[in-house]
């Protein structure tokens, strides 16, 4: 028998019927059609499924749907505002931080969670924040650079 959970995703309220073993990743992708969180290892090791849940970056493959009851979730779909890319997204594009793109949504949400709690992170803070996100393409340097540049853009814009 299913259980109904309530959750707020990208500012919208949902009630979803879930099974006991279902994960937050399953709910987002299969039931809400929010497909930016990627299904990678499903073991908490690659970070491709990272979303922000109650202000923290979490691996949605490790969160049971029932644990997400009443949670507030944000995915990459929330970043673009009025047709404009978020400074983090723009910086990833401008700095060659996206190659195949599989890791990108998770990277962006780890970076977003970091700058939400610390608008002036050091390079070490950035590296620590994305330590759980694996990228097989870029060698990480362009990603760290992109986050640093986005931080400085956001400081200038006061956003």
Pick from 5, 7, 24, 49 the residue near ligand FES by CB under 6 A: 49
Beta carbon nearer to ligand FES, 24 or 79: 24
Q: Which helix (H) or strand (E) holds 20?
A: none
Cα distance from N-terminal residue to C-terminal residue, the chain: 45
Question: Shortest Cβ distance from residue 62 to ligand FES (Å)?
Answer: 7
Cα separation, 33 vs 145, in Å, equals 31
DSSP-based three-state secondary structure for 4:
strand
Does 41 sit near ligand FES (CB under 6 A)? yes
Q: Is 99 exposed, middle or buried (0-12, 13-18, 19+ CB in 10 A)?
A: middle
Candidate list 47, 105, 121, 142; residue touching ligand FES; CB under 6 A? 47
Helix, strand, coil proportions of the chain in percent (round to 5)?
A: 40, 20, 45
Site string for ligand FES, 70-99 (x = CB under 6 A): ----------------------------xx
Q: Say whether residue 137 binds ligand FES (CB under 6 A).
A: yes
Among 100, 117, 118, 155, binds ligand FES (CB under 6 A): 100
The site for ligand FES (CB under 6 A) is made up of 39-42, 44-49, 59, 61, 98-103, 135-138
């Amino acid at each position: 028998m299913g259980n109904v959970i309530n959750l707020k995703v990208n500012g919208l309220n949902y009630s979803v019927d879930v099974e006991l073993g279902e994960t937050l990743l399953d709910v987002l992708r299969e039931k809400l059609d929010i497909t930016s969180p990627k299904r990678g290892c499903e073991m908490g090791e690659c970070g491709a499924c990272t979303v922000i849940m109650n202000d923290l970056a979490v691996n949605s493959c490790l969160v049971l749907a029932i644990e997400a009851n009443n949670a507030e979730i944000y995915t990459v779909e929330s970043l673009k505002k009025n047709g404009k890319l978020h400074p983090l997204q723009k910086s990833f594009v401008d700095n060659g931080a996206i190659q195949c793109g599989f890791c990108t949504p998770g990277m962006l949400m780890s970076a977003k969670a970091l700058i939400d709690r610390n608008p002036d992170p050091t390079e070490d803070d950035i590296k620590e924040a994305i330590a759980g996100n694996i990228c097989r393409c870029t060698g990480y340097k362009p990603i760290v650079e992109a986050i640093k540049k986005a931080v400085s853009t956001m400081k200038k814009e006061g956003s």
